[in-house]
Amino acid sequence: MSAPAPAGIAQEARDYLRDVEAELADLPAEERGALLEDLEQHLEALAEEGDDCPVLIRLGSPAAYAEELRAAAGLPARGAARSPARTAQLRREVDRLRAHPLAGEVRQLLHELRPGWWVLRGYLVVAVPCLVTYGWVGVPVPEPLGSPLLGFVLVLAAIAASVALGRRQLPRPVGLLVNAAGALLALVGLTAVGGSPSYDDGGVAYASSYDVAVGDQPLVSRYGPVTDVLPYASDGTPLEGVLLYDQDGRPLQVGLQEWWADGCARVLRQPLAADGVPVPQAFPQTYVVDPSGVDGFGNPAQCDATVARPEVPLPVFPAPATAGPTTAPGSGG
């Protein structure tokens, strides 16, 4: 440890002396002390002159001045020995930041949030594998192996273990490893959430972006692809063979109905016009069993052509208002 700077020099000169000492940290204590003694005398002489010019401008950078001291004393240049001094300087900067009042408040806040992180970490231990394996299903309770009860039990056990682990005083290497594993778990969870579909309906995942509304799913609503349109008159009468167009005069197209109660594949059968040409945009659309006799996954299946399409909730139309009996003017009542 070097001797304290003389009281006769200003704080600016003290800081300069400290920085030069850091540049000479690779030298033995005796040689470093002799060089710093010369610098102290030089700084005292500058202070007596009463010049307001900063010390850094008058003497140059601490690194350059330290090199001049080495050269004047016949000592080798610092060269590769610069690293320890830089490390010491970085350590001083880190200590200065840690001593800041705001840093203390941040540390206090993180300390108070530790129990919440323990609970979240336990939840992620079960949720992340389910999320990566099955997709974003089972919210908020994960469903490993498709069982919400199993997921609930595993989450409780993982949270209890995580809290118990957090309350223990772990060796520093083990603690760093546990924190790194927790951070990696959270990162994987965020990545999986960002890449997963927005929701799942009956095993068919639909993306929420309208950029996918092409190909087999040309029309997508918030509930998934539109596969048919059931038009009704204002009095609730179902309409057949209705032709629908969008705002630009283009025929409205919908996706293929794929999911049926019996799991068998269906194909679209378009109605025929008077000349025998199919009318592709006629609604509602009609489906028949795939003649190849396969299920929805292309496997051979015994399919019943009489199975109707899955039930669709139909709109309820209010009954038309009826006019009550009227009384002729002047009639008795």
Helix 62-72 with 11-23: angle, nearest 10 deg: 60
The pLDDT tens digits for 5-32 are 444 457 788 888 888 888 888 787 888 8
Asked whether residue 84 falls in the same domain as residue 156, the answer is: no
Asked whether residue 128 falls in the same domain as residue 90, the answer is: no
Q: How high is the pLDDT of residue 161?
A: 92
Determine, yes or no, domain membership for 92.
Answer: yes
Asked whether residue 89 falls in the same domain as residue 124, the answer is: no
**Does 79 have pLDDT greater than 70?**
no
Q: How high is the pLDDT of residue 80?
A: 44
Backbone φ/ψ region at 23: left (φ over 0), alpha (ψ -120 to 50), beta? alpha
Asked whether residue 221 falls in the same domain as residue 309, the answer is: yes
Highest mean pLDDT among 14-18, 198-202, 235-239, 269-273: 14-18
Determine, yes or no, domain membership for 327.
Answer: no
Determine, yes or no, domain membership for 193.
Answer: yes
Residue 147 to residues 25, 143, 157, Cα–Cα distance (Å): 64, 5, 16
Asked whether residue 192 falls in the same domain as residue 221, the answer is: no
Q: Which of 70, 98, 126 is the last residue of a domain?
A: 98
Asked whether residue 162 falls in the same domain as residue 236, the answer is: no
Read off the pLDDT of each residue in 60-85 and give the average, rounded to a whole number: 73
Determine, yes or no, domain membership for 210.
Answer: no
**Does 314 have pLDDT greater than 50?**
yes
Q: Which of 200, 233, 254 is the last residue of a domain?
A: 200
Q: If residue 199 lies in a helix (H) or strand (E), which one and from where to where?
A: strand 199-201
Burial classification of residue 164, based on how many CB atoms lie within 10 Å of its CB (0-12 exposed, 13-18 middle, 19 or more buried): exposed
Determine, yes or no, domain membership for 15.
Answer: yes
Counted domains in the chain:
3
Asked whether residue 62 falls in the same domain as residue 94, the answer is: yes
| Buried b / exposed e along 76-92 (16+ C-beta atoms within 10 A) | eebeeeeeebeeebeee
Asked whether residue 155 falls in the same domain as residue 88, the answer is: no
Determine, yes or no, domain membership for 145.
Answer: yes
The C-alpha atoms of residue 130 and residue 185 are separated, in whole angstroms, by 13
Q: How high is the pLDDT of residue 141?
A: 80
Q: What percent of the chain has pLDDT over 90?
A: 2
Asked whether residue 179 falls in the same domain as residue 91, the answer is: no
The pLDDT tens digits for 221-243 are 777 778 888 888 877 788 888 88
Determine, yes or no, domain membership for 330.
Answer: no
Of 49, 52, 53, 19, give the one whose Cα is nearest residue 36: 19
The pTM of the whole model exceeds 0.75: no
Pull the structure tokens for residue 30: 């005796």
HSE-up (13 A, CA, CB side) for residue 188: 18
Residue range of the domain that includes 57: 11-98
One DSSP character per residue, 214-271 reads STT-SSEETTEE------B-TTS-B--SEE-B-TTSPBP--PPP---TT-B-EEEEPP
Determine, yes or no, domain membership for 328.
Answer: no
The C-alpha atoms of residue 23 and residue 66 are separated, in whole angstroms, by 6
Asked whether residue 246 falls in the same domain as residue 304, the answer is: yes
- Which range (1-10, 70-79, 146-155, 274-283) has the least confidence? 1-10
Q: How high is the pLDDT of residue 156?
A: 92
